[in-house]
Structure 1
Amino acid sequence: MTRRSLRDLAPDPKSTTPWGTIESEVLATGLTFPEGVRWHDGALWFSDMHDHRLMRLVPGSEPETIATVPGRPSGIGFLPDGTPLVVSQQDRKVLRVEANGTVEHANLSGLAEWHCNDMFVDGQGRAYVGNYGDDSAPPDAPHPTVLILIEPDGSTRAVASDLWFPNGITVTPDGNTLIVAETRSVPGRLTAFDVGADGDLTGRRVLAEFEGGFPDGLAVDAEGAVWVAFPFGDELVRITPDGVVDTRLSFPSPYAVALGGPSGRELFVATAPNWEPEEAARLRAGAIHRLEVEAPAPAP
Structure 2
Amino acid sequence: MQKPPAPQAHLVTAGLAFGESPRWHDGRLWLCNWGTGEIIAVDADGNREVMLTVPAVLPYSIDWLPDGRLLVISGREGLLLRQEADGSLVTRADLRDLSKSPWNEIVVDGRGNTYVNGGGPAPASGEHFSPGTIVLITPDGAVRQVAENIAFANGMAVSPDNKTLIVAESHANRLTAFDIAADGSLANRRVWADLDGYPDGICLDAEGAAWYADVPNKRCVRVREGGEVLQTVTVDRGCFACMLGGTDRKTLFILAAEWRGFEHMLSDARTGQVFSVEAPAPGIGWP
TM-score (norm 1): 0.86
Structure 2 partner of 1:269 = 254
**Gap runs ≥5 in structure 2:** none
Q: Rate the CA distance shift 1:198–1:299 in 2: closer, same or farther, 3 A.
A: closer
What one-letter code is carried by the residue in structure 2 that aligns with 1:244?
A: E
Please report how far the alpha carbon of residue 226 of structure 1 lies from its aligned counterpart in structure 2 after TM superposition: 0.6
What one-letter code is carried by the residue in structure 1 that aligns with 2:154?
A: N
Output aligned runs, 1:211-230, within 5 Å: 211=196, 213-230=197-214
Asked if 1:189 is matched to 2:167, the reply is: no
Structure 1 stretch 110-119 or stretch 66-75: which is displaced more?
A: 66-75
Please report how far the alpha carbon of residue 190 of structure 1 lies from its aligned counterpart in structure 2 after TM superposition: 1.0
Report runs of 4+ in structure 1 exceeding 6 Å deviation.
none
Structure 2 partner of 1:172 = 159
Q: How many angstroms apart in 2 are the aligned matches of 1:48 and 1:135?
A: 26
Please report how far the alpha carbon of residue 140 of structure 1 lies from its aligned counterpart in structure 2 after TM superposition: 4.2
Which of 115, 118, 138 is the aligned partner of 1:128? 115
Partner deviation per Cα, 1:106-140 (whole Å, 9 max, x = no partner): 11112233111111111122111111546759994
Q: Percent identity?
A: 36
SS of 1:184's partner is helix
Please report how far the alpha carbon of residue 258 of structure 1 lies from its aligned counterpart in structure 2 after TM superposition: 0.6
SS of 1:259's partner is strand
Q: How many angstroms apart in 1 are the aligned matches of 2:254 and 2:63?
A: 17
Structure 2 partner of 1:7 = none
Partner deviation per Cα, 1:78-115 (whole Å, 9 max, x = no partner): 11111111111110111112233221111111223311
Please report how far the alpha carbon of residue 54 of structure 1 lies from its aligned counterpart in structure 2 after TM superposition: 1.2
Please report how far the alpha carbon of residue 145 of structure 1 lies from its aligned counterpart in structure 2 after TM superposition: 2.6
Structure 1 partner of 2:221 = 237
Q: How many angstroms apart in 1 are the aligned matches of 2:217 and 2:46?
A: 30
Partner deviation per Cα, 1:237-256 (whole Å, 9 max, x = no partner): 11113432222222331101
What one-letter code is carried by the residue in structure 2 that aligns with 1:221?
A: D
Q: How many angstroms apart in 2 are the aligned matches of 1:272 and 1:231?
A: 9
What one-letter code is carried by the residue in structure 1 that aligns with 2:131?
A: P
What one-letter code is carried by the residue in structure 2 that aligns with 1:207?
A: W
Q: Is the 8 A contact 1:50 1:277 kept in 2?
A: no
Please report how far the alpha carbon of residue 181 of structure 1 lies from its aligned counterpart in structure 2 after TM superposition: 0.7
Q: Rate the CA distance shift 1:254–1:195 in 2: closer, same or farther, 3 A.
A: same
Q: How many angstroms apart in 2 are the aligned matches of 1:20 and 1:75?
A: 33
What one-letter code is carried by the residue in structure 2 that aligns with 1:159?
A: V
Q: How many angstroms apart in 1 are the aligned matches of 2:89 and 2:12?
A: 27
Q: How many angstroms apart in 1 are the aligned matches of 2:271 and 2:168?
A: 25
As a proportion of its length, which structure holds more strand? 2
Q: How many angstroms apart in 1 are the aligned matches of 2:123 and 2:10?
A: 35
Please report how far the alpha carbon of residue 170 of structure 1 lies from its aligned counterpart in structure 2 after TM superposition: 0.5
Please report how far the alpha carbon of residue 164 of structure 1 lies from its aligned counterpart in structure 2 after TM superposition: 1.4
Please report how far the alpha carbon of residue 279 of structure 1 lies from its aligned counterpart in structure 2 after TM superposition: 5.1
Structure 1 partner of 2:79 = 93
